[in-house]
Chain A
Amino acid sequence: MSETTTRTPGFDSADPEARRALMAQVAPEPGSAKPDPILKVDRIVRSFGGMTAVDVDHLEVQRGVITALIGPNGAGKTTFFNLITGFDKPSSAREGAHWSFDGATLDKTSPANVARAGMVRTFQLTKALNRMTVLDNMMLGATGQAGENLLKSWLSPLWRKQEREIEEKAKDLLQRFKLLEKKDDFAGSLSGGQRKLLEMARALMTDPKMIMLDEPMAGVNPALTQSLLGHIQSLRDEGMTVLFVEHDMHMVRHISDWVVVMAEGRVVAEGAAGEVMSNPAVIDAYLGAHHDTDLGDDSLLADATMEALADEVRDEEEAQSEAPRTTEEGR
């Protein structure tokens, strides 16, 4: 994956100090400019009937770090995701709505084109393809498959070799996400958390530049949550940009390098994880929505646990770097 990710020169995303230093340059205010934005969004408005669900004036997402998009339920996070990934159309389409990803304008593109540009998303309600095997789910993710062309699909020699390569890659990823032994099971038979993992792994099959996770932790049991968070961090460490949506801010504190807070459709605050939580606008937003914000169970993500996790991830990576890595040649 890292092969296709263009990195900010002189910036090692695996180094916490480097990340902190990089994001320290950024002003902690809504719509602030980033040193090397991979995604830029301008004037996106979406209203349903008379209600404005999303009204984002300007937002930039820094390349190579984990950005969390948080906010209380109903803040418009998922709608915002749908808009920038082409699954929904902004009401402001004719009034200057504009967004670009990695230099490419995406104002009027379909979901498929957004994904092909390198911005791949997952869904809040997991969209595992239930009556297909885990491996088939994975292999669907691969891009540029000759065998998906109707005319070539009849003749297996035209795609047999590529198919084997894709399968190897899929198995590598499944191994990494600890799903390899499930590869011949129906995706529908997996647990909720495993399906989230599968969806993430499937998104990675497309070799994205940025992965957008919509509430990856929702409905996942605590043990798997930790491994999920670990996976997200290791992706970042390999140089991928991660943008994820979460409504519980405590979940994101430990892993995000930058936090964007939305409330009632607008971006109300931005900042480093530690600081943004004390921003009055954020407290307002959360208290306005529900009062038990501070009662979140933080012990789950105690630093000791996170360190243990980081070690585990590192071990896995080492194991992986030894395994033969397949890259796609046709790109």
Chain B
Amino acid sequence: MKVRQDLRQVSPRASGGVKLLLVALVAGLAWSLVPGAHAVPTLCMPSDTTACLGGTLRTDEGVVPDVEIKVTSPSGEETVLTTNEQGKWNLAAEEEGPWTLEVDQETLPDGVATTGEDVITVQARYGATTPGLIPVRTESYSSERSFGEYLAQSTVNGLRLGLLLALAAVGLSLIYGTTRLSSFSHAEQVTLGGMVAYGLVNVGGMNLWVGGALTVLVCAATGWTQDRLMWQPLRRRGLGLTQMMIVTIGLSLAMQYCFQYFVGARTVRVVQDNPDVLELGPITLTYQSLAAMGISVVVLAAVGYGLLRTRVGRATRAVSDNPALAAASGIDVDKVIRLVWVVATGLAGLSGIMYALVTNGIKWDSGMQILLLLFAAVTLGGLGTAFGALLGALIIGMVVELSPVFGMPGDFKYATAMLILILLLLVRPQGLLGKAERVG
């Protein structure tokens, strides 16, 4: 999948494109004489009789072009490929089974070496593209990157993800606390933040700070509108919570496809140019990330202060505890809930802008991954407790980023977070900070 995407994104710069084409033609002619293997450095399309192998030779510093790779078919035929300017290589295999790949060490640029095994085996299957990952790295890298440094970097990344999640999770938790509604569309509110910021800053050319602030306002306005036009009337109708939850599912679906309709299926970025990087010992962090973390901490602190110390915060907690009692003691429950929607969607929008900034962009369905992490965070901390959501988000952020450090395959890092959630429910269903509920 990765390989095909990379190939598609290759933008044929004029001269490079021509050169590539020439190489392709020559190579195609040359290799068409080799039976069994048919290797061209252009896009290989898998079919019923063709399996594709491909990959990108890449170190942490960049791609490695012009490296020869010796490819051996299951029946022993040998072919030599050369990586192109983007470090890509690609092979149409007409034989299923184990193919071996071996980098010609001579052709590697100075300072670049393979790591671990020199010979890699990949399984070719008809109708599929199999990625062949050949691990290479700069020689300086190996001496630099120890487990401790990896751990430090991942911890910071985890903290960053945790803080961004916390912004959205606190809102989700406040909504749950005051209305008992698990809002499935909350993650789309996060995506909305990224999308609006993309529109204002990237497309509209607005200053990032101004555009960001405006985005938060727009997102908060959607919360106000939703509560005014939908949630409040539905509460008044006495619509059941299950029904309301399904309404949020419908909303989430509609919002996702609205993003796709207006923005398309690609990943969009809020800021186009590559950000400056700050290096603090072993930790590399963009200034944007740093700013995002700082803003999150300040905003979360403000929300916490608001909940604990202000009148309206106390009213919100009173509604969470017992809406009927709160209403009886003179609190305007509808007003509190309206405010909660505004704050929650605003926070989600802010989270979305920063998510798009620090993770290099946002997509129409980014919300899906975020939603699961949010649910995990909120449930982990204790449904409906704002501070539990904060704690849960930080834990989930850490788990996601740290699990690869401790040997969990990268593909499974989100799954690990869910697994922890399910395990926690077994022993402490009310979450870390939740109180066991009174029954009957």
Contacts and interface: CB of A to CB of B under 8 A. Distances in A.
Asked if chains A and B come from one complex, the reply is yes
Interface of A: 48-49, 78, 82, 87-88, 123
Interface string B397-440: 00000000000000000000000000000000000000100111
A88 B439 CA distance: 6
A245 to B, nearest CB: 13
A62 B270 CA distance: 76
Contacts of A49: 435
A177 B183 CA distance: 44
11 contacts: A48-B438, A49-B435, A78-B440, A82-B439, A82-B440, A87-B439, A87-B440, A88-B438, A88-B439, A88-B440, A123-B440
A215 to B, nearest CB: 13
Range for the number of chain B residues in contact with chain A: under 10
User: Interface on chain A toward B: helix, strand, loop, or mixed SS?
Assistant: loop
Nearest 3 interchain pairs by C-beta: A87-B440, A82-B440, A87-B439
Interface of B: 435, 438-440
Nearest to A48: B438
Nearest to A121: B440
User: Interface on chain B toward A: helix, strand, loop, or mixed SS?
Assistant: loop
A171 B298 CA distance: 67
A115 to B, nearest CB: 14
A123 B435 CA distance: 24
Contacts of B435: 49
Given A82-B439, A82-B440, A87-B440, 8 more contacts: A48-B438, A49-B435, A78-B440, A87-B439, A88-B438, A88-B439, A88-B440, A123-B440
B241 to A, nearest CB: 16
A123 B439 CA distance: 12
Nearest to A85: B440
Contacts of A87: 439-440
A31 to B, nearest CB: 25
A82 B435 CA distance: 19
A254 B242 CA distance: 45
B238 to A, nearest CB: 13
A278 B435 CA distance: 41
A313 to B, nearest CB: 31
Contacts of B440: 78, 82, 87-88, 123
Contacts of A123: 440
A60 to B, nearest CB: 23
A223 B310 CA distance: 51
A87 B438 CA distance: 9
A214 B160 CA distance: 53
Q: Which of B435, B438, B439, B440 has the most CB of A within 10 A?
A: B440
A193 B257 CA distance: 50
B239 to A, nearest CB: 16
A113 to B, nearest CB: 16
A49 B440 CA distance: 17
A299 B439 CA distance: 37
Contacts of B439: 82, 87-88
Contacts of A48: 438
Nearest to B438: A48
Contacts of A88: 438-440
A48 B321 CA distance: 14
A329 B201 CA distance: 78
A52 to B, nearest CB: 14
A87 B439 CA distance: 6
Contacts of A82: 439-440
A136 B396 CA distance: 46
A88 B440 CA distance: 7
Contacts of A78: 440
A87 B440 CA distance: 6
Nearest to B435: A49
Contacts of B438: 48, 88
B132 to A, nearest CB: 50
A255 to B, nearest CB: 25
A88 B437 CA distance: 10
A262 B278 CA distance: 68
A49 B435 CA distance: 9
Nearest to A82: B440
A88 B438 CA distance: 8
B348 to A, nearest CB: 32
Nearest to A78: B440
A49 B438 CA distance: 11
A272 B435 CA distance: 41
A269 to B, nearest CB: 26
B235 to A, nearest CB: 20
